[in-house]
Amino acid sequence: MSRIGKKPIEIPDGVSVKLAKNEVNVKGPKGELSQKVDPKIEVEIKDNFIYLKRFTDQRLHRAFHGLYRALIANMITGVSIGFKSSLTIIGIGYRAKMEGKTLVLNVGHSHPIRYEPPEGISIVCEKQDLIDVYGIDKQLVGQVAAIIRGYRKPEPYKGKGIRYINEVVKHKAGKSGA
């Protein structure tokens, strides 16, 4: 069996889980999420725990077993605690600020870059070189952080650019004088 798929998922207080035909709906204090599940995977709720079982031992169904368990666990974490991704800006004159809900980045382009986050995502800039992305959907938080990072990826010579807070950029040696 899948080692991840056979682990039960605990339902915390304040979170309700409903099963439809092939869909799991999770509702909590921070919001509501839903996920369709493959019909070959059975989802069952017993004693405040969620269990996933598969009917066959095919390779694809073994993979789905762990995948859907991880997706449902992330949904429960998202509606109860939420997810955060932090980015830092390194470079002279590089800065970020919020104008309403729009993120404005000055990162060395000839114009400021404006980014409007999608529904369900909030962006906070406490300092001009720190960006925090918050949301209940783990995939969407990661995607928004990757889009923001993509506006100026860290370059390997001086390390300037937008990077994740714990990202390590390997520096290259520059040109050597002859």
As a CATH number, domain 83-164 is 3.90.930.12
- Whether the model pTM is above 0.85: yes
Three-class secondary structure of residue 14 per DSSP: coil
**For all residues of the chain together, what is the average pLDDT?**
92
Average confidence (pLDDT) over 80-100: 94
Average confidence (pLDDT) over 166-177: 86
Domain locations in the chain as residue ranges: 9-80, 83-164
d(CA 39, CA 9): 19
Three-class secondary structure of residue 27 per DSSP: strand
For 113-131, what is each residue's pLDDT tens digit?
Answer: 999 999 999 999 999 999 9
What confidence score (pLDDT) does residue 2 get? Answer: 56
Which CATH architecture fits 9-80? Alpha-Beta Complex (3.90)
pLDDT at 30 over 70: yes
What confidence score (pLDDT) does residue 175 get? Answer: 83
Cβ of 94: how many Cβ atoms within 10 Å? 17
What confidence score (pLDDT) does residue 3 get? Answer: 79
Tokens, residue 46:
């017993």
